[in-house]
A and B are shown apart, each in its own frame.
Chain A
Amino acid sequence: QQPVQSPQAVILREGEDAVINCSSSKALYSVHWYRQKHGEAPVFLMILLKGGEQKGHDKISASFNEKKQQSSLYLTASQLSYSGTYFCGTESGYGNKLVFGAGTILRVKS
C-alpha cells in the first residue's frame, strides 16, 4: 500500500521552513527519504528505523512516529538547492520491498 505524502506541493522563499509528511496504513519497519531533481536520480537523504531516534544532518531532519505510522521531514532555513521532489519510501519489514509515496514538490524561490 502506497504511503500518502502531504502536501502535494509547497512553494517557499529562501530562509523559510517546511514540513513534509508521510503516513501509512500499515505497520512500518522503516521510512526512507529521498530528494529528486528534475530528470535526475533520487538521492538518499536519510533512513528512520522503528525504535530509532530522530535523524538529521545540516538543516534537514526527520522524525518517525511508530504508533501513528507517520514520518515527517523538516527543512529549516531553506536554500534554493532544496528545490526538488521529495519522496518517502516505506518498508513494512526488514528486507521487504520499498514502497514510495507520490512525492512532494518543493520549490524554493529567492
Chain B
Amino acid sequence: DSGVTQTPKHLITATGQRVTLRCSPRSGDLSVYWYQQSLDQGLQFLIQYYNGEERAKGNILERFSAQQFPDLHSELNLSSLELGDSALYFCASSPPLGGGTDTQYFGPGTRLTVL
C-alpha cells in the first residue's frame, strides 16, 4: 500500500459522457501526477500539480482537465468520452521539492471503460 488513494476503482460509462477521477496523495506529499495506461501505449504522463499549481503538462487532451485543491487532493476530469479513452488512470504523489529527485508513489488506479 503506497498511501495514495484513488476513487473510484472502476468506472463504466458511455461515449460522450463526463467523469471525474479523484486522488488523495500520501500525507505530506505536495506533488500529484496523473498517468494514463492503455494496452498499447504504456504509461503516458498527463499532468503534474505541485501545491495547487500546474507544474508540468504531458500528452493531455483538451477534453481532459485537472486541478489540485487546497487540501492537496486532485481530480482529473474527462469529458466527451470516446472509446479510446478506456484505460487505467493512475495518480502518483511525491514529497516536497528539495533537491535530488523525487520518488513517485502510485495509487491503485481507476479502470475506466467507455462503452
Q: Chain A: residues with CB nearer than 8 A to chain B?
A: 2, 29-30, 32, 34, 40-44, 47, 49, 87, 89, 91, 94-103
Give residues 1-52 of B contacting A (CB, 8 Å): 2, 33, 42-45, 48
A97 B42 Cβ-Cβ under 8 A? no
Question: How long is the Cα–Cα vector from A96 to B48 in the complex, in angstroms?
Answer: 10
User: A99–B55 Cα gap in the complex (Å)?
Assistant: 15
- Given A41-B106, A42-B90, output 14 extra A-B contacts at Cβ < 8 Å: A2-B42, A41-B107, A41-B108, A43-B2, A44-B105, A87-B42, A89-B43, A97-B48, A97-B56, A98-B33, A98-B45, A100-B42, A100-B44, A101-B42
Q: Enumerate B36-87 residues with CB–CB distance to A below 8 Å.
A: 42-45, 48, 55-56, 58
Residues of B within 8 A of A96 (CB): 56
